[in-house]
Amino acid sequence: MTIALLVLTAYLLGSIPTSYLVVQFFHGLDIRRVGTTNPGMMNVWDNLGFASALLVAIGDIGKGSLAVGLAYWLNADAFVVCTVALTVVLGHDFSVFLKFHGGNGMAPAVGAVIALLPVSTIYILITVIALYLITRRKRLSGIVGILMIPSLSYLLGYDESKILIAVLVLTLAVLKVIRFEGFSADRKRQPDDLVRQHEDE
C-alpha cells in the first residue's frame, strides 16, 4: 500500500502543470497555444522570456526532487526509487490536469537526478551554464550536461544503481523531446502572433 501511494503521489506531483499556471497567471495566455504548444519550460523561455521560464524550472525541477526525496525518506529500495523517478516524469508528460498532455519531462528528470546525484549535478549545472554563456545554445549545453552525468557520477563514486536510475530517467525525457521536436530547435512564435492570440481570446 505504501509503495502504491508513493507512486500515485509521484504521478500527481509530476502532473502539476507548472508552465500552464505560470503563463496563465503572468501573461494571461494558454501555453498550449504558444510557440511549439508544448507546456514545458523551454517553450516558455523561447517565447515568453527567461523570468517566467525560471519560475517554471523551479517548480518542475522541484517536482522531480521532491518525489525521489520522498522515496528515500521512506527508505524505498532501488527498484521503487526508479519507479518513482520514472513516474514523476511520466506525470509531467501525461498530466491528468491537462487531459493527459504535458511537457517533455526534462525538468522533472533533472530534479530526480539532483536528488539521486547531488554533487554530480552541481558540477554539471556549472558546466552547462558556462557553456550556454559561451555558445548561447540551450539545447547543445543541455546535451553536453546529460552526456557528462554517467561518467562524472562514476568517477565521484556514486552507487551504480543511482547512476542507472538517472540514465533511465534522462533517457525517457530525451525520447519525449525527440518525439515531440525531432532533432531541430524549437520554433519561436513571433510577438505579433502572441498579441493576436491574446486578442482572439
When divided into structural domains, the chain yields a total of 1
The band of 189, judged by pLDDT with boundaries at 50, 70 and 90, is very low
pLDDT at 196 over 90: no
pLDDT at 188 over 70: no
Rounded to the nearest 10 degrees, how much is the dihedral formed by the CA atoms of 54, 58, 63, 65?
A: 130
Residues 6+ apart with CB under 8 A from 52: 22, 23, 26, 27, 44, 45
The band of 187, judged by pLDDT with boundaries at 50, 70 and 90, is very low
Burial code (b: 16+ CB inside 10 Å, e: under 16) for 160-186 equals: eebbebbeebbebbbebbeebbeeeeb
* pLDDT (0 to 100) of residue 112: 96
Question: Residue 113 sits in which domain range?
Answer: 2-200
Q: What is the helix, strand, coil percentage profile of the chain, to 5?
A: 80, 0, 20
The closest of 111, 169, 172, 136 to 45, measured between CA atoms, is 136
Average pLDDT, stretch 5-34?
Answer: 95
> Is 169 strand, coil or helix?
helix
The band of 1, judged by pLDDT with boundaries at 50, 70 and 90, is low
Is residue 23 a contact partner of residue 35, using CB atoms and an 8 Å limit?
no
- Least confident piece of the model among 84-88, 107-111, 176-180, 189-193: 189-193
Is residue 141 a contact partner of residue 132, using CB atoms and an 8 Å limit?
yes
pLDDT at 197 over 90: no
Average pLDDT, stretch 18-30?
Answer: 95
* pLDDT (0 to 100) of residue 178: 78
* pLDDT (0 to 100) of residue 77: 93
> Is 139 strand, coil or helix?
helix
Percent of the chain with pLDDT over 90: 68
Residues 6+ apart with CB under 8 A from 164: 82
* pLDDT (0 to 100) of residue 176: 81
pTM for the model stands at: 0.84
